Amino acid sequence: MTTASPKRRRHRSDAGKAAALVAPALAVLAVVIGYPIVRAIWLSFQSDKHLDPATGLFTEGGFAGVEHYLYWLTNRCMTASGEVGACPAGVLATDFWPSVSVTLFFTVVTVALETVLGIGMALVMNHPSRVRSLIRAAVLIPWAIPTAVTAKLWQFMFAPSGIVNSLLGHNIAWTTDPWAARFAVIIADVWKTTPFMALLILAGLQMIPRDVYEAARVDGASSLQTFTRITLPLVRPALMVAILFRTLDALRMYDLPVIMISGSSNSPTATISQLVVEDMRQGNFNSASALSTLIFLLIFTVAFVMIRFLGADVGGRQASKSMKGTR
């Protein structure tokens, strides 16, 4: 009979101590994160207050199956006589797919613009300068301003007699024309959240050893070659993490278009989160839970794809390997 070596027993003891230290944090996360998700999923399969065709009375509760999910995904409604058909115009479900399109459009455009601008701002903030601290503090101002204040600020600027139309010399209906309203929201969102991207990218730039740049300069590499062959590959892990966080944040956009343009569910800037709030205002909490679950699945799928296939290095392993490769 063989006994475990002292080294192996020590390793098991350390692993047990580590698990004991992490267990309370995992328990708190399970309650804080896990319970709301499980509760929302459970409510999504329960019926809201509805008219019972058999009795002609309003009933509440009971198992609804996937009725709420079909309501959102296929615009399936039930009439007072109990017949199932397409939802008429004006029902909240008819705004689901347009809001999904708007949300994805906002996400793709804003994240792309913020990534490009964030890289430029991070390079400027990382460059040695006497006013570097002042630049970094100034960059934080848009990010520090509350979203509600940002929305009202840009709403005044995009007003018919606002400063934007005055500078352009044209009377553009920024808050009523569908596409103008969408681009107005994009401009305001990019102005506010680009500093967030810049700070995350700056953290990645500061991890790159200066010796690498010195070696590239000695070898005669140009500024463009240094950026494309050294800076971008080494900052890529931090860049992908910044894109991941910003993408997940953009998919949950709510307050900026609501305050700046309109809170209506059929607004040209209506996002998925607006439908959840509107459905809850109408008293359909279980239906809103189903929509919240769909949003959760969308965000989870995007995060999984970006981490698994696009190289978003949340754990920092790829960054450590890159740093080792430069030594």
Interval 141-160: pLDDT, tens: 999 899 999 999 999 999 98
State yes or no: pLDDT of 293 exceeds 90. Answer: yes
State yes or no: pLDDT of 12 exceeds 90. Answer: no
Is there a contact between 184 and 260 (Cβ–Cβ < 8 Å)? Answer: yes
CA 181 to CA 298: how far, in whole Å?
A: 25
**Res. 220 pLDDT band, cuts 50 70 90:** confident
Is pLDDT larger for residue 169 or for residue 11?
A: 169
Domain total of the chain: 2
State yes or no: pLDDT of 326 exceeds 70. Answer: no
Q: Are residues 59 and 114 in the same domain?
A: no
Percent of the chain with pLDDT over 90: 37
In this prediction, residue 152 carries a pLDDT of 93
In this prediction, residue 201 carries a pLDDT of 92
Long-range CB contacts (< 8 A, 24+ apart) of 49-53? 49/283, 49/284, 50/78, 51/80, 53/80, 53/81, 53/82
How many C-beta neighbours within 10 Å does residue 249 have?
16
Q: Are residues 302 and 202 in the same domain?
A: yes
State yes or no: pLDDT of 256 exceeds 90. Answer: yes
In this prediction, residue 1 carries a pLDDT of 45
Q: Are residues 26 and 159 in the same domain?
A: no
Residue 207, phi then psi, degrees to nearest 5: -85, -10
The single residue listed with the structure tokens 């705004």 is 95
In this prediction, residue 6 carries a pLDDT of 64
CB-facing half-sphere around the CA of 65: CA atoms within 13 A:
3
Is pLDDT larger for residue 105 or for residue 132?
A: 105
Q: Tell which of 92, 121, 143 closes a domain.
A: 92
State yes or no: pLDDT of 291 exceeds 90. Answer: yes
Mean pLDDT for the chain overall:
85
Q: Tell which of 64, 92, 120 closes a domain.
A: 92
Q: Is residue 1 part of a domain?
A: no
Strand partners, 86: 76
Q: Are residues 136 and 45 in the same domain?
A: no
Over range 40-67, report the average pLDDT.
Answer: 76
Over range 262-289, report the average pLDDT.
Answer: 91
3 Ramachandran zone, left/alpha/beta (phi>0; psi -120 to 50): beta
Q: Are residues 79 and 107 in the same domain?
A: no
CA 181 to CA 193: how far, in whole Å?
A: 18
> Of 112, 148, 106, whose CA–CA distance to 270 is shortest?
106
Q: Tell which of 49, 71, 92 closes a domain.
A: 92
Dihedral sign (CA 312, 314, 318, 323): positive
Domain CATH code at residue 273: 1.10.3720.10
CA 125 to CA 122: how far, in whole Å?
A: 5
CA 258 to CA 248: how far, in whole Å?
A: 19
Is pLDDT larger for residue 164 or for residue 309?
A: 164
**Res. 175 pLDDT band, cuts 50 70 90:** confident
Structural domain span for residue 55: 6-92
Q: How long, in residues, is the chain?
A: 327
Strands (E), 107-176: none
Over range 209-230, report the average pLDDT.
Answer: 87
Strand partners, 194: none
In this prediction, residue 110 carries a pLDDT of 95
Burial class (CB in 10 A: 0-12, 13-18, 19+), 166: exposed
In this prediction, residue 225 carries a pLDDT of 87
State yes or no: pLDDT of 314 exceeds 80. Answer: no
pTM here is: 0.83
Q: Are residues 118 and 132 in the same domain?
A: yes
Is there a contact between 255 and 228 (Cβ–Cβ < 8 Å)? Answer: no
